[in-house]
Structure 1
Amino acid sequence: MIKLRGHHIFCLLGYRGMGYSEEYTENMTKIHDVLRERPDTMIQIMKGPDYLCAKFPEGQPYHCQDDGIYERDTVILRKLGLKVSDVLPWREVERRIRLHVVPDDIVVVCETCSWRSYGFCQEGVEEIVESRGLRQVLQEK
């Protein structure tokens, strides 16, 4: 089972192999690949730091406990009809995204996110809405 907080659901949609550090990126790639390859993998919705936050690099401003991040988690969970402690397969998360999310929701919900300007998360929502699943992350060698 993979433990995720609300906003990391959206982060995983737009993930393209970039992150805060090599260790963070390796961890996120591993989680992303598991969900992409095995969409029946169970996830548990967390309040606060999750499996991705666990690898946030020391020495960088730690935003995982910021009020704004908790607010973003809450908005996304509400949009998906989920609550903290829910356990469900990733496939069901994707189904809820198809029903309740449009690409432009990223512009509003993730307005202050530094990664939003890349447009990857909007593309990721579009791919889920079109039932294409998570995009394969190509690692540069």
Structure 2
Amino acid sequence: MFLLRGHHLFCLLGYRGMGYSDQYVKEMTRLHTVLREDPQTLITIVHGPDDLCSNFPENEPYHCDESAVLDRDERIVQYLGLTIGNTYTWSDIEQRIIERVVREDIPRFCSTCPWLPYGVCEEGVDRMRHGDGLTPVNGA
């Protein structure tokens, strides 16, 4: 089981092996691979920092507690019809993404994200909606 905050559910869609540090990439790749291989993996939705945030590099400004990030989490959780503190399978979350999220939602929810210019999250939404699941990550 993993503890995840709202916006990281969208980050998983666009994840391609890039990250804030080697340790962050290692843990995000591990999570991403587990979810691809076992969609019945359990995810508990949390408010604030989650399992991925614990790998954020100490030498960079820690943004995991910022109000803008917390607001993004809350809006995404509500949009997906999830509840903080509840546990879901990744498969259930995928289904909610397929039913509710379109590529235009990414810039609307994630306008300040440094990864937005890459366009990978929008591609991930398209993939999900076509039934292709999370994009395989090289080396995973």
TM-score, structure 1 normalization: 0.97
Aligned to 2:91: 91
Deviation per residue, 1:11-36 (Å, 9 max, x gap): 01100000000010000000000001
Moved over 2 A (4+): none
> Where does residue 40 of structure 2 map in the other structure?
40
SS at match of 1:7: helix
Give the residue type in structure 1 aligned to 2:57. P
For 1:102, the equivalent position in structure 2 comes to: 102
Output the CA distance in 1 between the equivalents of 2:99 and 2:54: 30
Relative to the length of structure 2, the TM-score reads: 0.98
Count of residues in Structure 1 that have an aligned counterpart in Structure 2: 140
Offset at 1:139?
A: 2.7
CA distance in 1, matches of 2:71, 2:129: 24
Provide the rounded CA distance (Å) in 2 between the counterparts of 1:100 and 1:107: 15
Whole-Å separation in 1 of the counterparts to 2:73 and 2:126: 20
Q: Alpha-carbon deviations, 1:40-81, whole Å to 9, x = none?
A: 001000001101001000110100000000000011011100
CA RMSD of aligned residues (A): 1.0
Q: CA deviation at 1:83?
A: 1.3
Unpaired runs of 5+ in structure 2? none
